[in-house]
Amino acid sequence: MFMNKIYKQLPDNQVTIVAPYGTDFLEHKRDAKLYPEHPVGDTTLQYENITQAGVRLQKAHNRVVAKPVPADNKTKEIVASSDIVFVAPLLPNFSPEYVKNVLSHTKPETLKVLLPQGYYRDFNNEDNVQPRTFGEANEILPLVDIVIVSEQDHSDMISLAREWVGKYKITAIITLGEMGAVAVTTEKEIQLPTRAVPEHEIVDSVGSGDIFSAGFSYRYQQTHDLKEAGRFANDLARQCLFYTSNDIKVDYQAL
């Protein structure tokens, strides 16, 4: 949904979100194009952020309803017509077989991007989020072109990303918060710096990682230039810090 907000304000885009949702989500749908076209039940997966003594905890609600959308003919048609496909599970329930089946219908020139945050989430008996190992990496990473992760996803994310790049010949992008990001390829590492915004000037940083991922993939698909894509994505994410998440405005000309 954050990506949809961004892409609606960038030229020449049509977006379809393939995800399960319930009737409780319809009030948030706005102009988003969703598949399935109708709710799959009454409730939608929700994450609740709880901050105590400066420590943020996350709790997941309605996990049982968040099953991957079946790879039916419509799903395959959507994927086959797309120039960029994001695989972005919010739970660790996209099996390697499912991802392989869906991505097998992409065009040769389609940019396939993995946002693996959901694979790093486990849950205790009270539905609190706990760290998880991305055990499916060996089977899923060879299926994509780019993986975009946060330095917070793993205790040594850059070293892990270097290992992935060496094994699977993909490109890894690691976001570093106010330090920008770094791109790791089989040939080199490219720093993607940003201009930090003073904390007291930030209106809302929710969704910044998704905004960066949307901008990076959009610009990289146009230019195939990692440094330019990083510049574009960092500037885009920076713009959005000055708006609430419901009222994001993109100044494309400034980008």
How do residues 113-156 score in pLDDT, each as one tens digit?
999 999 999 999 999 999 999 999 999 999 999 999 999 888 89
- Checking if the pLDDT of 206 tops 80, the result is no
Q: Please give the residue that has the higher pLDDT: either 109 or 2.
A: 109
Whole-number pLDDT of residue 51: 75
> For residue 200, what pLDDT band results from cuts at 50, 70 and 90?
confident
Confirm if 43 and 51 have CB atoms less than 8 A apart.
Answer: no
Confirm if 149 and 172 have CB atoms less than 8 A apart.
Answer: yes
Distance CA 15, CA 34 (A): 9
Terminal Cα-to-Cα distance of the chain (whole angstroms):
21
For residue 111, list its beta bridge partners: 84
> For residue 55, what pLDDT band results from cuts at 50, 70 and 90?
confident
> For residue 173, what pLDDT band results from cuts at 50, 70 and 90?
very high
Mean pLDDT of the chain: 93
At position 2, the amino acid (one-letter code) is: F
Whole-number pLDDT of residue 34: 97
Domain 68-240 carries which CATH code?
Answer: 3.40.1190.20
